[in-house]
């Protein structure tokens, strides 16, 4: 887009606009912000992955502390960005898929299954909402596919307010944030806490 913007560049504390700014120009500004935001997540995540790989000896346990100070982005968000970029290399990323969609796919621990989902999404005629994609991935389907509206409604009717998926997703999200900072004793305690859940799962006839 070659629209010439007549507003002032953003300052450190905001942005001012000319009076009676034409709608198309205002819209163009928003589109540029949107595009910058999309690129920012990938760029910052890749920057973190590069730093962790190449400067680990200089900033071993301080990588995210240094990055937090340099960028102003909180450590939890930085860790999430880096995880997505590490698990999904640039040649596997899908241009018309949002960073949040990639984040949902990055939550898949198994690499082969993760790339199956990416291949499926790359070939799809249209992309699902982030919520539906997460639900489809969490459904542990044999092959990647998007769950239907009827399946979602049936699941909601079956589990109602006791739908375990919400709680499991929240737990997994928290664990991904905390695990990199846990020491050996904390990890041992986590394993002990998970034993009843594993025992319960193993006792189900699947």
How far apart, in whole angstroms, are the C-alpha atoms of residue 92 and residue 189? 36
pLDDT at 88: 93
pLDDT of residue 119: 92
More confident residue, 41 or 150: 41
Residue 14, strand partner residues: 11
Give the whole-angstrom CA distance, residue 99 versus residue 40: 10
Picking from 84, 40, 68, the residue whose alpha carbon sits closest to that of residue 92 is 84
Residue 160 has what pLDDT?
53
Closest among 27, 174, 177, 60 to 17, alpha carbons compared: 27
pLDDT for res 58: 52
98, with CB counted inside 10 A (0-12, 13-18, 19+), is middle
Identify the pLDDT of residue 206.
44
Helix then strand then coil, % of the chain, to nearest 5: 65, 0, 30
pLDDT of residue 162: 55
User: What CA–CA distance (Å, rounded) separates 30 from 1?
Assistant: 12
Closest by CA to 99, choosing from 141, 48, 46, is: 46
Q: At a CB cut-off of 8 Å and minimum separation 6, what does 47 contact?
A: 67
pLDDT tens profile 1-42: 444 445 567 777 788 888 888 889 889 988 888 888 888 999
User: pLDDT value at position 42?
Assistant: 93
Tell me the β-bridge partners of 11.
14
The pLDDT tens digits of the residues spanning 100-149 come to 899 999 988 888 999 999 999 999 888 888 888 988 888 777 889 988 88
User: What are 166-180's pLDDT values in tens digits?
Assistant: 677 777 777 777 777
Q: Which residues of 128-142 are buried (b: 16+ CB within 10 A; e: fewer)?
A: beeebbbbbbbeeee
Task: State the DSSP H helix or E strand holding residue 147, giving kind and residue range, or none if neither.
Answer: none
Phi/psi for 120 (5° steps) reads -60, -45
The per-residue pLDDT for 156 is 64
Q: What is the mean pLDDT of residues 189-196?
A: 77
Give, in degrees to the nearest 5, the angle at Cα 105 between 129 and 181.
120
At residue 57, the pLDDT reads 57
Comparison of pLDDT for 59 and 103, the residue scoring more:
103
Higher pLDDT, 91 or 35: 91
Q: Is residue 85 over pLDDT 60?
A: yes
The answer to whether 104 touches 134, Cβ cutoff 8 Å, is yes
Sketch the domain layout of the chain as residue ranges: 23-87, 94-162, 163-206
Q: How far apart are CA 108 and CA 114, in angstroms?
A: 6
């Amino acid at each position: 887009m070659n629209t010439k913007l007549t507003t002032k560049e953003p300052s450190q504390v905001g942005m001012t606009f000319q009076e009676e700014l034409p709608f198309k120009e205002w819209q163009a500004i928003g589109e540029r912000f949107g595009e910058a935001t999309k690129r920012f997540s990938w760029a910052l995540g890749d920057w973190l992955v590069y730093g962790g790989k190449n400067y680990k000896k200089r900033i071993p346990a301080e990588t995210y502390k240094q990055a937090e100070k340099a960028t102003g982005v909180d450590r939890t968000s930085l860790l999430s960005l880096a995880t997505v970029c590490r698990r999904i290399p640039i040649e596997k990323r899908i241009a018309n898929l949002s960073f949040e969609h990639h984040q949902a796919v990055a939550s898949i621990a198994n690499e082969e299954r993760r790339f199956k989902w990416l291949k499926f999404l790359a070939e799809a005629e249209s992309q699902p909402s982030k919520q539906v994609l997460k639900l489809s991935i969490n459904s542990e389907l044999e092959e990647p596919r998007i769950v239907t509206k009827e399946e979602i409604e049936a699941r909601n009717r079956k589990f109602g307010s006791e739908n375990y998926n919400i709680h499991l997703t929240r737990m997994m999200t928290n664990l991904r944030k905390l695990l990199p900072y846990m020491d050996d004793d904390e990890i041992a305690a986590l394993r002990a806490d998970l034993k009843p859940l594993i025992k319960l799962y193993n006792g189900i006839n699947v």
